[in-house]
Amino acid sequence: MRLKGLMAVLFFISTYCVGQEYQLPDRELKEVEITAKSMKYYSQGAHIQTFDSTEMQFYNEGTLATLLRDKASVYIREYGAPGQLSSISIRGASPENTAIVWNGINLNSLTLGQTDMSTINTFYFDNIDLQYGASSAQYGSGAVGGTIILKDQLDWERENHFELQTAYGSFNQQFYGFKAQYGNNKWKHKTVGLYQMADNDYTFYNEYAKEDQVQQNAGFWHAGILHETHFKPNENEEWSVNLWYTQDQRGIQPIMGNNMKPSTYDSTENTNFRGVVNYKVKNDKWTHTASVAYIQDELLNGGSQIATQRVQGDYRGETSLTNSLTLQTGLTLMNIWPDVYAYAADTEEFRGSVFAALRWDVTNRFNVSTTLRQTVVTGYSAPFTPSLNLSYIALEDGSQSLKIKSSAGRSYRVPTLNERYWGEKANPDIKPEDGYNVDLGFDYTKSNNHLTFNTSVTGFYLRTFNKILWIPGNPTYAANVKETYSRGVEVSADIGNQYSKQLLKWKFGAAYSFTDAQNLDKDKQLMYVPKNLIRSYINLGIATWSLNIDGNFVGKRTTANDYYNLDAYQLLNVGLSKWFKINNSRILLTAKVNNITNSEYQNYEEYPMPGINYMFKANFNF
């Protein structure tokens, strides 16, 4: 009932905004951005990778899992075919230790503690930031290994714009999507809708049956719609409503040994709704941002329901204390109502946090920022969480620049609802995971009239205490049982002439990450954390043609079996695109060949991945 009522209210607000024409003074509004700075502004010492709309265009028929697997120094744990459960490991941290944030909402399941990244399609968004390392002071619980910020930006100065896209590929992969941005200088709307499916009936060699088999029970479909309505009554105020509804259903891919055993097949269905109302106002000294959100997540599996509803209120205020000092303060309040068959009937949880962030631009080359956060949860307080970020431009002479940066911060993760309230051995007093992270690195750029060279190096150390694990037993229960550390280095470099006037544009790049992640009580690399990851790419463009070649190497990974490791593997993907322009419209046609060498590999033990496969995509802009 809560969901239906709040959906009705939010939908009414949105449609009312679309239909009404307010009688405002007859003047042209100034196109100014009414918003506080994002937490990225206070994280200038961290390693942050940004995916803009141009880079995402090539991957936008796929999911967040596909984009990050191919373009980021992270490991994606895929339980088989595209559309199956996909989780992430950043710097050796578990999936529960990565925060995925949209409009101030941490999308991670409150029961499971993680987000299935195969359910988040990149077509919904315009930009994505990936922040490596702990950022709990900035983003709250779970931002330990890293944070992913999903952005659906609105351009007030852009004319009405419409986009259609369709794709078809191997194993009956299908994609249909549309985007629309429309309105005027008072009202602006954006709508994104999509449908995606695949049968995933590829052939693989079954090591147990000693024969080639067709993958069974691995099909899926996903559908969703995201809508925004923004209203500017004057140049200092802005209202907005953001609604996002998704639904997906999939067969759970069986392990190799059960591939031909229909009695073991299973399926899941997910339904998610997120609605946010935002208000922003700016005066001479302060920018205020307030929001109210309602989120419902529901998972159905084998007749059992795991669902949560939450209401979240958020406030942020930002001011410039001086020309070089910027202060942002904030408050987040959340109440959670779970509906889980294994919890007590009256289970409910409150979470609240306050934070303050201060940045000081000491000179035009050196700046420092600190963020402080305190979180309270029903039954206890989470660790006090400070962070410090430093950035220094050591060299800048017009043709080259060198920036040295560093960050340090405490991190934490509030236990999931399952970890606190599941079953007969529920443990409401389980401690939050606690830890700290230190980064040190540099960015260097050199350019002339023809070439641009960039390189980045970051070293890191991440320590975690009170790590939560599920203990086998009758019944199984969660407990704080171990400590871990992760240390390593992330290196990237690229060179290209993309900013030159030459007819043939090209760019070559590569990235390497080394991650030593260990349990302190066991001389063994953490499960499914490769020590070595390498990715490389070549982009070529001439006139309206472009060619993209991506290569990935994933090192061996440990498993639950102390005597068995997953083998290392290499993948090579190729894509060819061409633009056509017809009047004021543009058409982009793309052909892709993935895993062109037909490599056999697994990202999770006993879940075979597809061999060589193809995708054809058409995108229309008008």
524-542 tens-digit pLDDT? 899 999 999 999 999 999 9
Strand partners, 178: 164, 193
How wide is the angle at C-alpha 442 spanned by C-alphas 440 and 445, nearest 5°?
170
Strand partners, 462: 437, 486
Are 298 and 270 contacting, i.e. CB atoms less than 8 angstroms apart?
Answer: yes
How far, in Å, CA of 94 to CA of 89, rounded?
5
| pLDDT > 80? residue 192 | yes
User: pTM for the full model?
Assistant: 0.92
| pLDDT > 50? residue 560 | yes
What's residue 36's pLDDT? 64
- The DSSP annotation for 326-384 comes to EEEEEEEEEEEEEEETTS-TT--EEEEEEEEEEEEE-SSSEEEEEEEEEEEETTEEPPP
Q: Give the three-state DSSP class for 305.
A: strand
Give the tens place of pLDDT for each residue, 202-254: 999 999 999 999 999 999 999 999 999 999 999 999 999 999 999 999 999 99
What's residue 353's pLDDT? 97
How far, in Å, CA of 480 to CA of 432, rounded?
8
Confidence of residue 561 (pLDDT cuts 50, 70, 90): confident
Segment 293-316 mean pLDDT: 94
Are 137 and 325 contacting, i.e. CB atoms less than 8 angstroms apart?
Answer: no
Segment 473-481 mean pLDDT: 84
- Dihedral angle of Cα 250, 118, 190, 333, to the nearest 10 degrees: 100
Segment 414-424 mean pLDDT: 93
Q: Give the three-state DSSP class for 458.
A: strand
For 95, the token pair is 């999936």
Which is it for strands 146-151 and 98-102: parallel, antiparallel or unpaired? parallel
Q: Give the three-state DSSP class for 12.
A: helix
What H or E segment, with its residue span, contains residue 11?
helix 2-19
Cβ burial of 440 (10 Å; 0-12, 13-18, 19+) is middle
Locus of tokens 């009580």: 521
Segment 557-570 mean pLDDT: 92
Q: DSSP letter at 200?
A: -
Taken in order 309, 355, 145, 433, the sign of the CA dihedral is: negative
Strand partners, 410: 436
Segment 139-163 mean pLDDT: 91
| pLDDT > 80? residue 12 | no
Segment 123-137 mean pLDDT: 95
| pLDDT > 80? residue 349 | yes
Q: How far is CA 542 from CA 407, 452, 504, 621, in A?
A: 41, 18, 5, 21
What's residue 31's pLDDT? 42
Q: Which of these ranges, 45-59, 250-264, 265-279, 433-447, has the smallest mean pLDDT? A: 45-59
Are 480 and 431 contacting, i.e. CB atoms less than 8 angstroms apart?
Answer: yes
How far, in Å, CA of 133 to CA of 146, rounded?
5
Q: How far is CA 578 from CA 311, 549, 551, 575, in A?
A: 46, 15, 22, 10
What's residue 381's pLDDT? 83
**Domains, the chain, with CATH or none:** 39-153+160-621 (2.40.170.20)
Confidence of residue 93 (pLDDT cuts 50, 70, 90): very high
Segment 296-313 mean pLDDT: 93
Are 2 and 273 contacting, i.e. CB atoms less than 8 angstroms apart?
Answer: no
How far, in Å, CA of 334 to CA of 345, rounded?
20
In 102-257, which residue ranges form alpha helices assigned H by DSSP? Answer: 136-139
How far, in Å, CA of 539 to CA of 522, rounded?
43
Are 594 and 615 contacting, i.e. CB atoms less than 8 angstroms apart?
Answer: yes
Confidence of residue 19 (pLDDT cuts 50, 70, 90): very low
Strand partners, 405: 391, 441
Residue percentage of the chain with pLDDT more than 70: 94
Give the tens place of pLDDT for each residue, 108-128: 999 999 999 999 999 999 999
- The DSSP annotation for 232-264 comes to EEETTEEEEEEEEEEEEEEEEPPPGGGTT-GGG
For 155, the token pair is 């351009």
What H or E segment, with its residue span, contains residue 71?
helix 64-71
How far, in Å, CA of 266 to CA of 268, rounded?
7
Confidence of residue 24 (pLDDT cuts 50, 70, 90): very low
Segment 403-424 mean pLDDT: 95
